[in-house]
Chain A
Amino acid sequence: MDKENGVGSSVGGGNGPGDSLPVGRRLAGMAWSLLFLLVPILGVATFVIAPFYDHWLPKDVSVHGRAIDGLFMFILVLTGVVFVATEVLLFWFMWKYDAAASSKPAKYIHGSHTLEVVWTIIPAATMLFLAIYQMNTWADVKMRRPRMAPSAEVVARQFEWRIRYPGRDDTLGTADDLFVVNDLHVPIDEDFLVQLKSMDVLHSFFLPNLRIKQDAVPGMKQPVWFKATEAGTYDIVCAEVCGWGHYKMKGRVTVESRADFERWLERVEAEQEATQRGPEDAPNLAAD
């Protein structure tokens, strides 16, 4: 059987009694090792090249996004180092300990207590550090809610974003509320608090440029807050599958100066007044 498959051998190595080391098998071993070396090389290359072709984190226009991106890059470097180190080790062991490379017998060793302790404690400490290090950012984005009345309510529905502004009395749920669809406007450099709801199924309110994502759950009210730092118009994407039209549940968020924002609200108000007779007819889209 030894000759047939070449696996296993009598003690002292060799590839069959009296054989010299077979060149063909050594070359094959080298080729396979190099194939595995391609993994870290091409892996790192992909991540290095991608940003130059704009295949990277979309432009961040929020305050907390900087912390998220920083954490992403930190983890990328950390995992990148571990990735390269382990993959190169694997390559090197494959290259060096190919049975066709030497006639030395395999090491008869069952493990190392010291090594086990080392490679348990170092990752444990790293992961614990990472866990603690990120908590503050998480709290900023999801827990330390600004003390203010909601700036707008977003109600998700198959397949649109219904947006309600509180109007002149700054209170949601009153007669002067302003209604728009798929068109969120927010003032620049101000805290903006969205009250997120869903009318029907799960949706997810995803603003890639603002590093915001929050599921909208029917029966629940989710607070979502952010502070936009750069004027422009950005995408609102639904990130939780919500039915056949999920892909086209597209909205836009426009970040603009306070003055532009007020002007836009007035225009919405004027349009709404023109199309509606009397406040009693205002559609009560999602009563609290």
Chain B
Amino acid sequence: MSTVTHPQAPLSEATRHEHGLAQGAPSLSTFLSTYVFSKDHKVIGLQFLFSTLVWFLIGGLLALAVRWQVAWPWSDVPVLGKLFAQQGGQMAPEFYTMLFTMHASVMIFLVIIPILSGAFGNFLIPLMIGADDMAFPTLNMLGYWFMWPAFIFFGASFFVEGGAAAGGWTSYPPLSTSTVSAPGSGMGQTLWLLGLTMVGVSSMLGSVNYMTTIILMRAPGMTMFRLPMTIWGMFITAILQAFALPVLTAAGFMQLADRMVGTGFFSPEGNVINNAMSGAGGGQPLLWQHLFWFYSHPAVYIMILPAMGMVSDIMTTFARKPLFGYRPMVYSIAGIAGLGFIVWGHHMFISGMNPALGITFMVATMMIALPSAVKTFNWLGTVWGGRIHYTTAMLFALSFVSMFIIGGLSGIFMAATPVDIFIHDTYFIVAHFHYVLFAGTAMGVFAGIYYWFPKMFGRMMNEFWGKIHFFLTFIFLNGTFFTMHILGAVGFPRRLADAYHYETFHHLQPLNAFMTWCAIGMVATQIIFAINFFWSMFRGPVAGRNPWNSNTLEWIAPSPPGHGNFDFQPVVHRGPYEYSVPGCETDHLMQTDPPNAAEVAATAAAHA
């Protein structure tokens, strides 16, 4: 290590003891308590990471099946074809509706939300604030284990009669409340709702824990405005979850009651579905949409804010430069979160909601573009004048910015209510949210994995194959998703098993075939990532404590950190982004490095 030595406090006996835990005599109970029912936030984080990566693969394969049907409707499906022996190898339309429903549900509830909050949140929060663990380790462990009922409910729903839920991930009633409305709206839908509730419980446990930990357990000297952006992202996300989730959970139970007890929250009087009376009546289908989006719009930010934070930290490290506009970055995250609660109606412009109310939501939605713009400009400002090192993590982080620009700008089309009339529920919106969630969040997650892998496993990932992985993913994702804007401009509707029998859309098949080939390439590329990941876990070059010469606290801990994290008590002297301070010996000053004269002079000059 070329880094400066730290003023190390002697290890406490308890910490030493805990560090020896993994090397202790192996017995079943220590194995279980260390790797399975562990209360160590890092183990829990990695459990979340592995589980969500498995579901990421499943969600990706579901997406490929969706793409197959969109590109070549009613043609024999490779591999899956054996499932459809009765139909001669073709996919049934009800199977298609199930595919897109479950693709979205798996990706949102079992991948993006738990990988950001669960995996990275758990792993990083105590390390980056200088705590030895979460405030409530047992609650933390429960948070992970509450995901398992969700995994089982979602997984099992594919095998029940009628298949998994098929009402779209938004689960709009009456399609979702009436058990006779579609093949997937029987047991599959019930399991979907139960799974969703479990994900909610897990998120809630995490959220309470994160807020408490960040507020109460910061290391000495770690003021709120010395927190790295990752922690700010996680903190605001936890607040969002705490306030929005109860609404979804309540709405989920109302829908369950409609289905199983015979209440009528969401079904209107005298509704006849499939020649059968549905439910007690007296309810309002739009009520669900309001409740659902009251959670699910903030959830969109739950799915991006932590990634924004991670990307900010990664970009400063590899640009060797302080973050441009730290406070505006924090305020804009808070602004996004605040405004995020009053824009849910923009999902409902054409739902039958009062059009005057639509105008209110439109104005609020236009305003939420502001903090996003501020963040983008500050990222550009961070890259400007830096000394950029093109590591894999940096490339993924830069692509996050590049792609988030597209996803952010395409949102303006939908926010404009008159334009939304035409592009609502077309591939334009599909393009938009895939740019935010895949090209944005997933690229941010890849950046995070390449960046923190050495801290997680003590070894480096292979940079050469990492860059191949980045290059191919970047090309294929744009091939898949950018063209969706064009489909959307034609009005090509989403969720149709076959749209080519419409005169308006019949010429769009070749473009869709191109997109499907790109999607296949994109999923295939992830094999490179998987091999690199597992190979590096065991064979990668051993990483020191601080392989990237970064500033934040996790890099003073051993790689990987033992139970209890730090081998001395970190004391924080400065913010997380003091790179390239003029006159200092190294180009980075860790948060724990003692203050030095050159730095004092430089900060004084910078603020003069």
Residue ranges of A at the interface with B (Cβ–Cβ < 8 Å):
1-2, 4-11, 13, 25, 28-29, 32, 35-36, 39, 42-43, 46-47, 50, 54-58, 67-68, 71-72, 75-76, 78-79, 82-83, 86-87, 89-90, 93-94, 97-99, 104-112, 115-116, 119-120, 123-124, 127-128, 130-131, 134-135, 137-139, 141-143, 158, 199-202, 204, 206, 208-209, 211-220, 222, 234-235, 237-248, 250
Contact = CB atoms under 8 A, between A and B. Distances in A.
Interface in B472-516: 474, 478, 482-483, 485-487, 489-491, 493, 495-499, 501-504, 507-508, 511
A2 to B, nearest CB: 6
B412 interface: yes
Nearest to B500: A247
Nearest to A130: B366
Contacts of A238: 493
B531 interface: no
Contact of A11 (B325, B328, B502, B586): B586
Interface stretch (B16-24, B29-37, B127-135, B577-585): B577-585
Contacts of B3: 1
A83 B388 contact: no
B586 A8 contact: yes
Given A29-B388, A93-B383, A200 B272 contact: yes
A170 to B, nearest CB: 26
Contacts of A54: 507
A9 B587 contact: yes
Interface in B253-292: 267-269, 271-274, 278, 284-286
Contact of A115 (B351, B376, B381, B498): B381
Contacts of B367: 124, 127
Contacts of A56: 486, 489-490
Contacts of A137: 418
B197 interface: no
A106 B602 contact: no
B491 A217 contact: no
A241 B495 contact: yes
Given A4-B541, A106-B320, A219-B285, A111 B482 contact: no
Nearest to A86: B405
B25 interface: no
Interface residues of B, number: 136
Contacts of A79: 409-410, 412-413
A141 B93 contact: no
Interface string B103-139: 0000000000000000000000000000000000000
B10 interface: no
Contacts of A8: 320, 548-549, 586-588
Contacts of A105: 320, 387, 580, 582, 587
A99 to B, nearest CB: 4
Interface in B282-330: 284-286, 317-328
Contacts of A124: 367, 370
Interface string B176-189: 00100111000000
Nearest to A59: B504
A29 B390 contact: yes
Contacts of A141: 418, 421
Contacts of B325: 110-112, 115-116
B198 interface: no
A212 B126 CA distance: 52
A11 B491 contact: no
Nearest to B423: A72
| 9 closest cross-chain pairs (CB), A and B | A219-B268, A8-B549, A107-B385, A244-B94, A111-B325, A142-B355, A106-B580, A208-B491, A79-B409
B90 interface: no
B78 interface: no
B272 A108 contact: no
A138 B355 contact: yes
Contacts of B583: 11
Nearest to A82: B409
Given A94-B388, A201-B181, A219-B268, A83 B486 contact: no
A123 B421 contact: no
- Determine which residue in B2, B485, B504, B547 has the highest number of CB atoms from chain A within 10 A of its CB, and name it: B504
B504 A243 contact: no
8 contacts: A2-B2, A8-B587, A39-B402, A46-B486, A97-B384, A138-B355, A215-B350, A241-B168
